[in-house]
Structure 1
Amino acid sequence: MARKKYTEVEKELMKGIAFNLRAILKRKGLTQKELAEGTELSTSVISDYLNEKTLATPGSIQKIADYLKVSKAEIDPTFQSKNNIYNSNLIPIVGNVCAGDGLLAEQNIEDYVYYPMPNKIQPDFALRVKGDSMSGIGIEDGDIVYIKKSSWADFNGQVVVALINGDEEGTLKRMKWSEGSPVINLVPENEKYKSIKALPNEITICGVYMGHFKLNNSL
């Protein structure tokens, strides 16, 4: 069976988990085989985690942390929470994106999520996706999307979070326009949904998309 294709963010997470696991095993003088036996995970699963081939699941992370007597955050930094906000790579999750019918604009910080690319421009906040209107580019229900604050798209066709007509309900869509036309099209990546058409003065852009990962399904 073909291996799952991971996003760049997920690949960075895999790399971080593998690095942390190797360091902990070395510190404790344990082998891959001993870790597999102690956690009741197969040696192939442990090997895949250590060799950056598979992204560890929440259950596996818990088993490994329990056996090694370490915190989950020592293995996977995405488990860090708002108690660790001193970490500059922790991005606030501020609400839910309803990627079918709109954005649930709850601006209270729910938690913090790790951004695994410290040498790149950091997002300003993250949103939790609800719906499947952007599934064509791999953004699905339950995913976490990283957002950089912006008042307009950087280029024609960029994915943005937009509010329409001053409402508190918004949407995650691809923003497109045509030369000579004032109409802005907010385009889904799922043929089940229709594009939203609006004039520039009817749209408020909250930010632009910077990447995503599958927190609920992959970690």
Structure 2
Amino acid sequence: MGRGKLTPQDLEAMKTISINLQRLLSESGMKQSHVAAVLNIPTSSFNEYVKGKSLPKAGNIQKIADFFGLKKSDIDPRFSSENTSAILKQISALANQLEPERQKSLLDYCRHQVAEQQAQTKANAEPSKSSKKKFAAYQYQEIVDKFIADEMASQDIIYLDHVRNAQDLYHAIGRHYENVVLYGEVSAGTGIWVGQERQETIQYPSPVPEHDLALKVNGNSMEPLFYDGDLVFVKKTKTIHHGQIIVVIVNNEAYVKKLYRKNKEIRLISLNPDYDDIILKKDDNIEIIGTVIT
């Protein structure tokens, strides 16, 4: 995409990319720093993309799209002209696999989307379009300000005048703790059974994210995202998608892995390249516990 002076189209693309990335992060429950680490994109650069202050290179857009199981055009409008017919073919192919009642629900959803698009087109043609855009920008800024305020409120305040060595930093960070109930361990390697009964209660530095299950990671196959002994917080959900980090039981052994669809295979991927992927067989018994939120 190149550097230099940005065109009006580039500036508009930055806004759209920012909105799309914030939505994907919110839906997946993943932190910006985690995604950046997995994709090998500098955290500062990824944060700029999310804030709409920097235009990603095409290669980074491809990395992000692959991670979330999307097309580049789903994230960056500059690629919206690519493979439009292919997208429609995919929608049609998936729709043919649905039961009649689900096909009807999909049709209703499409009609709703068309109605929204028509209403938006009409609104954009009205004389007050500029004022509406300003109001939308104001609402967006309010959301950003609230997010920042919440993040700041949840952090320990560290006065740098009091920090002289690493020991001072150890004392300053994580002084407030909350109770977390552990339900056993989940493997980042060969598989461990997840306990169904309450195991133990431990102290964990505040703030503890809202979760349904807390598990301890055993093994190093998910480094550098999760290390041996780390806690992962899991949210039970009725939906998952390609690219998410999930906790799944396969043939009575539990794993924390990245869900990935490659050609006709569904894989459970380790982030550590020293470990092979787990390729699910069609007769494997699986139970998806939920998605990892941190």
Q: TM-score, normalised by structure 1?
A: 0.53
- The Cα of 1:136 is off from its aligned counterpart by 3.3
Change (3 A) 1:201 1:147: farther
Change (3 A) 1:46 1:105: closer
In structure 2, what is the Cα distance between the partners aligned to 1:136 and 1:43? 29
AA at the equivalent of 2:173: L
On the 8 A contact 1:151/1:206 being kept in 2, the answer is no
- The Cα of 1:105 is off from its aligned counterpart by 1.5
Structure 1 spans left out of the alignment, 5+ residues: 1-6, 23-31, 34-41, 57-74, 81-90, 212-219
AA at the equivalent of 2:217: V
DSSP 3-state at the match of 1:123: coil
Change (3 A) 1:204 1:151: farther
1:173 to 251, 257, 275: 257
In structure 2, what is the Cα distance between the partners aligned to 1:144 and 1:13? 22
The question of 1:197 aligning with 2:286 is answered no
On the 8 A contact 1:184/1:200 being kept in 2, the answer is no
Change (3 A) 1:12 1:111: farther
DSSP 3-state at the match of 1:102: coil
Partner of 1:206: 289
AA at the equivalent of 2:222: M
Partner of 1:141: 228
Partner of 1:159: 245
AA at the equivalent of 1:168: N
DSSP 3-state at the match of 2:195: coil
DSSP 3-state at the match of 1:132: coil
On the 8 A contact 1:151/1:205 being kept in 2, the answer is no
DSSP 3-state at the match of 1:104: coil
In structure 1, what is the Cα distance between the partners aligned to 2:276 and 2:166? 42
Partner of 2:173: 55
In structure 2, what is the Cα distance between the partners aligned to 1:197 and 1:46? 45
In structure 2, what is the Cα distance between the partners aligned to 1:45 and 1:93? 30
Q: In proportion to residue count, which structure has more strand?
A: 1
In structure 1, what is the Cα distance between the partners aligned to 2:214 and 2:227? 15
Structure 2 spans left out of the alignment, 5+ residues: 1-32, 35-150
Query: Over aligned residue pairs, what C-alpha RMSD do you find?
Result: 3.6
- The Cα of 1:96 is off from its aligned counterpart by 0.6
Partner of 1:15: 155
On the 8 A contact 2:212/2:234 being kept in 1, the answer is yes
DSSP 3-state at the match of 2:229: coil
AA at the equivalent of 1:160: I
Q: In proportion to residue count, which structure has more helix?
A: 2
AA at the equivalent of 1:132: N
Partner of 2:196: 107
Q: How does 1:39-78 map to 2 (within 5 A)?
A: 43-45=164-166, 48=169, 55=173, 75-78=175-178
Larger-Rg structure: 2
In structure 2, what is the Cα distance between the partners aligned to 1:171 and 1:147? 12
In structure 2, what is the Cα distance between the partners aligned to 1:125 and 1:76? 21
- The Cα of 1:129 is off from its aligned counterpart by 0.7
Moved over 4 A (4+): 11-14, 42-47, 112-115
Q: TM-score, normalised by structure 2?
A: 0.41
Q: How does 1:115-130 map to 2 (within 5 A)?
A: 116-117=206-207, 122-130=210-218
Aligned length: 143
DSSP 3-state at the match of 2:196: coil
On the 8 A contact 2:221/2:272 being kept in 1, the answer is yes
- The Cα of 1:197 is off from its aligned counterpart by 1.0
- The Cα of 1:173 is off from its aligned counterpart by 0.6
DSSP 3-state at the match of 1:106: coil
